[in-house]
Amino acid sequence: MLSVHTLAKLIDQYCSNSDRHYVYGTAGFRGPAATLDTVLFATGIIACLRSLALNGDVVGVMVTASHNPPVDNGVKVVEPDGSMMPELWEPLATQLANTLAIKGSSNERAQATLSWFEKELKDQLQSANKFYNEGVVPTLVVARDSRESGPKLLSCLVAGAKELFHAKIHDFGLLTTPQLHFLTSETAKGVSNVTELRYYRHFLQAWNHVAQLHGIGDHLPTISSLTIDAANGIGAPKVQELLSQWACRGQVHFINNKWTNPELLNHECGADFVKSNQRFPLGFNDSKGLGCSYDGDADRVVFYYVNESNKFCLLDGDRISALFAHFFSSMLKQAGLQSQLSLGIVQTAYANGNSTEYLQKTLQVPVSCVKTGVKHLHHEAVTKYDIGIYFEANGHGTIIFSPKFYKVVKEQERSIAVETLEAFSQLINQTVGDAISDMLGVLAALSISKWTPQHWGEEFTDLPNRLAKVIVPDRSVFITTDQERRLTKPEGLQAKIDETVKCFQKGRSFVRASGTEDAVRVYAEAANVEEVEQLTKKVKNLVMNSSQN
């Protein structure tokens, strides 16, 4: 499949990073951009092999580091249906990147890589090898966010894919991550001449259908204005393009939309900043309207408003799930389909305890808890419910509609409720969390439900909570069970956390290794702010002490 000479030449040209260790995790590969050229080269190869294993079907590749600082970058591989690359392939990506990055000459690294190939072609890559030998050519759809390092890193990926596999590559240039997922899916469906315009047309048409059903004209009925914080990322020009044709565009104000200044990306703004700091982004000054913040690649969104006491009120992923749970529960009842179609929410351990109680007890909607990571949430939503809603607390999520949903809805007598359910399945980007699509869905649900931001925010009261980070020498020693809610290692640490939690009213805390950096995340909840600060500090100290021993 590959020659040593060609591979060594490419390594010498595109793989300056060596003697490093990389891991393909939930977010793909991610780290300082200066350390990633070898990783991008490896990802080009993995994407081609994945396409070959699927008999040349289109595979997407997105170059982004999402909410990370501007100096970072990353890359992830997308399936033909727009979902994430199968977990079974993640170790292959990790192994290939680390083999290409061994210490040694270009020739030695090429020899090691070919040895790895010879082994894997007889094992997991057999199908890729079969189709390659039959003359199948891999097909890739690629894009990048607005980071300064993007063009150079993408060139490393494209070089390997073209030189080694003669891959057919459609480069969409600058896109949000959800746009790349959506357009990959559309291309795989056989849609001809897929362009970025298809994304805008699809979601605007869906909005227009919902708006027509419910008499939403050129003004959102329950909010006075909408401020969009685009995190100075690629979401800025993309949402501006879509909303330029939106009937309610007169209510919209943009902040942090300087996407052409990469050094401003996520600086004191964006979904992660707002969620982590529990405060408004830089430039927000609308005391009467609704605000929302995207992250750097526009696959997360959180909302917020100023309450009557002039205080910041966050409407995060838990609140988005609750809004959609209420909305779809109501629509299913109006359509008379509540007994035919199952509705459920998928959460992680990071979901606020009071949100779970509200969903289960007030709305009486089933709730599943899974491990952190979109792939786990997505899988549960796809396999367990006809309408599966998942949003991580950080605002990353979507809604999945099953094949049964479409069959049942199609067979129903036409009514506003039935057509609304159908239209919403088009308004939501089901391939992945999408800040733009999710925002439109939230605005539609608020309008139809006649909820103001204040009504939304007062449906339940969050337990005070904190998410803290502890830098550790080796995150791999922190091993969890019970959907990441309990530690099995380091030994004895969980017992100490349990004893600490008992000292606080409504206390809850868990510890898990970060998926993207050598750090441990500490989450804590308690009955009041003072207690949650104390609990967070105590658990952080337990983690630090355990990592030093």
Which residue positions form the known binding site for substrate?
392-394, 512-516, 521
Active-site residue flag, 339 = no
Q: What is d(CA 127, CA 297) in angstroms, rounded to the nearest whole number?
A: 33
DSSP state of 249: G
Measured over the CA atoms of residue 196, residue 202, residue 207 and residue 208, the dihedral's sign is: positive
Q: First-to-last CA distance in the chain?
A: 48
Residue 524, both tokens: 């804590």
DSSP state of 302: E
Active-site entry in 66, 321, 355, 425:
66
Output the CA angle 421-426-427, nearest 5 degrees.
90
Of 131, 140, 127, 161, nearest to 58 by C-alpha is 140
Is the distance from CB of 309 to CB of 244 less than 8 angstroms?
A: no
My answer on whether omega of the bond before 490 falls inside 30° of 0, hence cis, is yes
Position 341: which residue type? L
Q: List, in sequence order, every beta strand (DSSP E) within 363-444.
A: 367-369, 387-391, 397-401
Q: For the sheet with 465-471, list strands across it.
A: 465-471, 519-525, 508-513
Is the distance from CB of 418 to CB of 280 less than 8 angstroms?
A: no
Spatial neighbors of 515 by CB under 8 A, at least 6 apart, are: 25, 26, 27, 372, 373
Q: What is d(CA 401, CA 422) in angstroms, rounded to the nearest whole number?
A: 10
Position 362: which residue type? T
| CB-based burial, 279-298: b 16+ in 10 Å, e otherwise | ebbeebebeebbbbbbbbbb
At residue 296, what are phi and psi to the nearest 5 degrees? -60, -35
Q: What is d(CA 472, CA 258) in angstroms, rounded to the nearest whole number?
A: 35
Q: In which residue are the tokens 């800040």 written?
A: 435
Of 383, 367, 267, nearest to 318 by C-alpha is 367
Q: What is d(CA 543, CA 293) in angstroms, rounded to the nearest whole number?
A: 32
Is the distance from CB of 303 to CB of 442 less than 8 angstroms?
A: yes
Quick one: CA torsion of 201, 204, 206, 207, rounded to 10 degrees?
180
Known binding residues: 66, 295, 297, 299, 392-394, 512-516, 521
Is the distance from CB of 52 to CB of 128 less than 8 angstroms?
A: yes
Q: What is d(CA 273, CA 524) in angstroms, rounded to the nearest whole number?
A: 18
Query: How many Cα atoms within 13 Å fall on the side-chain side of residue 218?
Result: 5
Residue 374 Rama label (left phi>0; alpha psi -120 to 50; beta): alpha
Known binding residues for Mg(2+): 66, 295, 297, 299
Other residues' Cβ atoms within 10 Å of the Cβ of residue 416: 13
- Catalytic residues, which ones? 66
